[in-house]
Amino acid sequence: MNERELDSLLTQGKKEAGDFFSSFMPAPTQLAAEAVSKSRRSWRPQAVRRMALAAACVAAVLAFALLAWLLPHAEYARPGAQPSALAQADDTPVDNVPTETVALGEDKEFRMNHIPTTVHDGAVPGIMTVLWELSGNWSQQMAYSSVFEYCDTVYPAMIIPFSGADYDMLLIASGDSAHGRIGYRLVGYRTNAIQTWWSRDGLPGGDISVQDGVAVEKAADDSQQSGLRVTYIVPIQTTSGALVLPVSRLRLGVGERLLLIGSSTDDVDAESLGGLMSREDSEPYGEAAEMFTAVGTGEDVLQISDGHAGNSLTVSIVEHE
């Protein structure tokens, strides 16, 4: 990126930040911000509110610039990898997609924006999703961002509830309407920060949803009798030294898969007690993930242990209807 492109992006980022903040700032604060913009040379700090607003705008501009510098290209990201792209934000929101507010806990509320992007000198379209953590006094800061390449459609955010953990988890997705592909991110807290726990891009004939309390991925696969490969994705959190699952029981069909996602290898150290779930090679999925395939009908139990405390997941397996 040359100096002219960076300057252009900074200008766009500043405008987007201003539009974003003004959408929910009180009217007096918004007018004060406009006055500051129109008289930069003569402006002097007159109130803490104005100083906080200026600092927030500068932080947002720098964040957009940093995103543009740091996000390299990957058309189809390896499962579990953080997808990224050299992105230049457009100056308009995605059509017909309102800003969403999502809560992952009592004290964790976020505003989510979807911004059209272009990557590789404008050759490839995409969507950048940004989470802003909200706090008191109308303040906010960028907590998370991710770019969905080759996407032009945004899907509603979905929550995976955890009754026994401090925070719920968030599923965000975008799609390529021309080719029927989707990408998604499973997002949650890890080491006190919002991070991607699991991600996929470019899934052909894909679909992602939350069913029975877990994420369910469907992707076209000619090797399957149904023409779809179905994967149930079960994130595992650790609270007060104990493993916490969003559900205690699932129902799968023969040939369907179950993916355990955790913060570390210990979180997904699981064993099929009934032998009806076959463990797959974990190398393609990363150290903090474990994949199983249902190979027989009946009821099985996945015993999960981290060496100190454990949990289990009961799986009922049936033939495909």
pLDDT digits (tens, 9 = 90+) for 4-57: 444 454 445 445 544 544 544 444 333 333 333 333 333 333 433 444 444 444
Query: Hey, is 58 helix, strand or coil?
Result: helix
- The number of beta carbons lying within 10 Å of the beta carbon of residue 307 is 7
| Alpha-carbon span 177 to 167, nearest angstrom | 32
Q: Are 113 and 166 in contact (CB under 8 A)?
A: no
Helix, strand, coil percentages for the chain (3-state, nearest 5): 20, 45, 35
Q: Are 175 and 149 in contact (CB under 8 A)?
A: no
Angle at 238 between CA 113 and CA 317, to 5 degrees: 90
| Alpha-carbon span 282 to 41, nearest angstrom | 59
| Alpha-carbon span 151 to 119, nearest angstrom | 11
Domain 71-203 carries which CATH code? Answer: 2.40.128
- Residue 308 pLDDT: 54
| Burial (CB count within 10 angstroms: exposed 0-12, middle 13-18, buried 19+), residue 63 | middle
Q: Are 310 and 246 in contact (CB under 8 A)?
A: no
300: nearest Cα among 284, 312, 291:
312
- Residue 93 pLDDT: 44
- Residue 63 pLDDT: 47
CATH-assigned architecture of domain 221-321: Sandwich (2.60)
43: nearest Cα among 32, 56, 52:
32
Q: Where in the chain is the domain with CATH 2.60.40.420?
A: 221-321
- Residue 94 pLDDT: 52
Which token pair is 210? Answer: 């939350």
Query: What parts of the chain have a pLDDT lower than 70?
Result: 1-98, 306-309, 321
- Residue 62 pLDDT: 43
Q: Where in the chain is the domain with CATH 2.40.128?
A: 71-203
| Burial (CB count within 10 angstroms: exposed 0-12, middle 13-18, buried 19+), residue 82 | middle
64: nearest Cα among 150, 172, 152, 145:
145
Q: At what angle do helices 3-22 and 27-38 cross, to 10 degrees?
A: 150
Q: Which helix (DSSP H) or strand (DSSP E) does residue 314 occupy? A: strand 310-318
Q: Are 283 and 291 in contact (CB under 8 A)?
A: no
- Residue 97 pLDDT: 58
The contacts of residue 65 (CB under 8 Å, 6+ apart) are: 6, 9, 10, 13
Query: Hey, is 123 helix, strand or coil?
Result: coil
